[in-house]
Every structure is written in C-alpha cells, then in structure tokens.
Amino acid sequence: MGNYAIAIHGGAGRLMAGVFTPEQEKAYHEKLSEALQAGYIILTNSGTAVDAVEAAVRILEDSPLFNAGKGSVFNCEGQNEMDASIMNGKNLKAGAIAAVHTIRNPVACARAVMEKSPHVLLAGHGAEKFAAECGIEIVDPSYFYDEERYQQWFATKDMEGASWAGDTYITNQVNTEKKLGTVGCVALDSTGNLAAATSTGGVNNKKFGRVGDSPIIGAGCYADNKTCAVSCTGEGEYFIRQSTAYDIAALMEYKGFTVAQAATEAIKKIAQLGGEGGLIAIDNQGNISVPFNTSSMFRGWINTQGEKFTGIFR
C-alpha cells in the first residue's frame, strides 16, 4: 500500500483571531476534523481518492458553518445558487454543475456528471433535471436557508455589486465575516491516484447566473496523477482569469516546480492581479501545500505520516 493523504479547506477570508467565541471556533475545528476523518477512513481502507474527496465535501456541504450546500450565501435576488466540481487525476475525467438551487449535495451531482454523462459541466435547470434522473437528493430551495447568511445578504444587498464572502462588512448587527467559506478537498489514495473537489454558494449578493471558479475545471479545481490535485477558494473571477488550479499542475509539469513552489507562485499571481484567496494542493507523493494571501483560511490535513492538523488563522 502506497502513501495516502488528504487536505480540506472551508474557505479563505479576512477573519482575525478573536472574531469567534471559543465555542464557535471549536465548532469549526470539529467540523473540519469530521470531514477530514470521513475522507481519511476511506483512504485507510484502500478506497479511492474520488470517494474520499466526495465524502469530505458532502460533510462540509451539510454544515451551515460553510458557504456550500446548506448555509450557502444569497444572490442578488435573495436565492441560494450553488456551484460544484470534481476531478479524477487518474483519467482526467471531470464533472461540474453551476447555478443550481435544489440539489442537496452539489458535489454528488458533479460526480454524476463525471461518471454518468458524456459532459463536464451542466448548468441550472438542466443540472437539476439530470440530478433527479440520477436519483440524487433534490430538496426545496428553503433547505439551504440560513438566517445568519440571509441577514448578511439583507444588510449588503443595496451595496454596489457582489461581495466575496471573505470581504469585511461590519454592519449594525451582522459581522458578515462570521460565516463564509467555499469548501474543497484534495486527496492521494494508496494506489497513487489523485482527486479534487470544490463546492460553493459563490459570493454574497452575486448577479443571478454568476458562475465563479469553483465549477470551472482548471480554475477552482484540477487533478492529474502526473502532478497534483488542487481546490481553490477566494475571489473567483481572479482564479478563472489565471486558470489557477491548472497553472499549478503546469508549473510542476513544465517547470519542475515542487507543489509548494507552484502553489505559492499561483497565489502570488492572484495577488498581483489584486485578488485574494487561497488553495489546497497535494502532489502524487502526498506532499501538501495550503498557501493563502488572506488573514484566514479554514483548512486541515492528514499527511502521509497520519499527522492531523486543522487551522483557521494565519
């Protein structure tokens, strides 16, 4: 059995230490830990990297603590509109969905697109129809409602444009920094296969139909056994423009960078454009890199030695 390892993120942001009560901070660590463990147990039992990343992301989607699945941010019409993706580094197959309102676990549908359709990306109503055809759980849009998220949107809805969930908006009652976080997972399994998955509600008050980097293969998600698996978080428009997730794989393949060098370089390029965010990356030996240029990124990993870490702040 070869090395295996896993890393997750729950979104980059501008959180500063002290923003949470000790109980809230504990709740984040516990949920990150639960998601890591769910993926890791699959890897320990010789399961696939694809199974591991899906399992971990589903747990984060089901938690209202993060901006994915339940707890997603609201768009300019006060609706939750979600995106997700998954990629298998073994065969470069990928699946993604965008702008969906009724799929409980968007990552599960992204996986169905990858495995049960000839396509890579399905959007909107078509994605939802496909999910139903595949027997994936459909819920009423009200399932995704979260009061704190709604208040966050309501307080900012008349402001110009969309706000990345990592933005700092301290309003009268609502500190919108308190809940944010696209989620993602990357894993290396014991047979040397890599996989990545990303899921998000996008950015607060986004224009209807706005699609970020999370479901764009090569931008917010990428996996290739030759090099690495990557999941990104941050201001999606920058990650799309830089093809960030693929950029890391390309820097490793064509320039011989290590995963840490490539991931750091990719985040530097985001910063140079004026963007903020972070990412998790793992190479085909299980080396993990989690750079971010924000003050916080919910993150965690279990490395090839079985050592576990969860963190929030820089």
Largest CA distance in the chain: 55
- The count of residues interacting with ligand ASP (CB under 6 A) is 16
Compute the distance between CA of residue 196 and CA of residue 226 in angstroms, rounded to an integer: 14
Contacting residue, 156, 233, 243, 310, with ligand ASP by CB under 6 A: 233
User: What is the spatial order of strands in the sheet that 288-289 belongs to?
Assistant: 221-223, 228-234, 277-283, 288-289
**Binding of ligand ASP at residue 231 (CB under 6 A)?**
no
11 interacts with ligand ASP by CB under 6 A: yes
Q: How far is the CB of 51 from ligand ASP (least distance, A)?
A: 24
Strands 93-100 vs 121-123: parallel, antiparallel or unpaired: parallel
Rg (CA), the chain: 17
105 binds ligand ASP (CB under 6 A): no
Q: How far apart are CA 291 and CA 183, in angstroms?
A: 15
Tokens for 51?
Answer: 């199974």
Give the nearer residue to ligand ASP in terms of CB position, either 160 or 307.
160
CA distance 94 to 20: 37
Which residues have a Cβ under 8 Å from the Cβ of 171 and sit 6 or more positions away?
155, 156
Residues between 29 and 58 that touch ligand ASP (CB under 6 A)? none
Q: Is 165 in the site for ligand ASP (CB under 6 A)?
A: yes
Q: Does 236 bind ligand ASP (CB under 6 A)?
A: yes
Residue 189 in contact with residue 47, Cβ under 8 Å? yes
Cβ atoms of 66 and 202 closer than 8 Å? no
Q: Is 202 in the site for ligand ASP (CB under 6 A)?
A: yes
Q: Measured from the CB atom, is 43 or 107 closer to ligand ASP? A: 107
Q: Is 213 in the site for ligand ASP (CB under 6 A)?
A: yes
Catalytic residues: 182
214 binds ligand ASP (CB under 6 A): yes
Given the complex with ligand ASP, which of 200 and 243 has the nearer CB atom? 200
CA angle at 130 for the pair 110 and 222, rounded to the nearest 5°: 15
Q: Which residue has the tokens 């969905």?
A: 97
Give the nearest distance from C-beta 69 to ligand ASP in angstroms.
14
- Please choose, out of 14-22, 129-137, 234-242, 249-257, the segment that lies near ligand ASP by the rule CB under 6 A: 234-242
CA dihedral 171, 17, 57, 182 (to 10 degrees): 40
Which is nearer to ligand ASP, 83 or 189 (by Cβ)?
Answer: 83
Q: Name the one range near ligand ASP by CB under 6 A: 104-112, 125-133, 198-206, 223-231.
A: 198-206
234 binds ligand ASP (CB under 6 A): yes
Number of neighbouring beta carbons within 10 Å of residue 282: 33
According to the binding rule CB under 6 A, does residue 81 interact with ligand ASP?
no
Whose CA is closest to 304, among 140, 187, 181, 157? 187
Closer residue to ligand ASP, CB minimum distance, 10 or 286: 10
Q: Kindly state whether residue 218 participates in binding ligand ASP, applying the rule CB under 6 A.
A: no
Does position 106 interact with ligand ASP (CB under 6 A)? The reply is no
Interface with ligand ASP by CB under 6 A: which residues? 11, 164-166, 182, 200, 202-203, 212-214, 220, 233-236
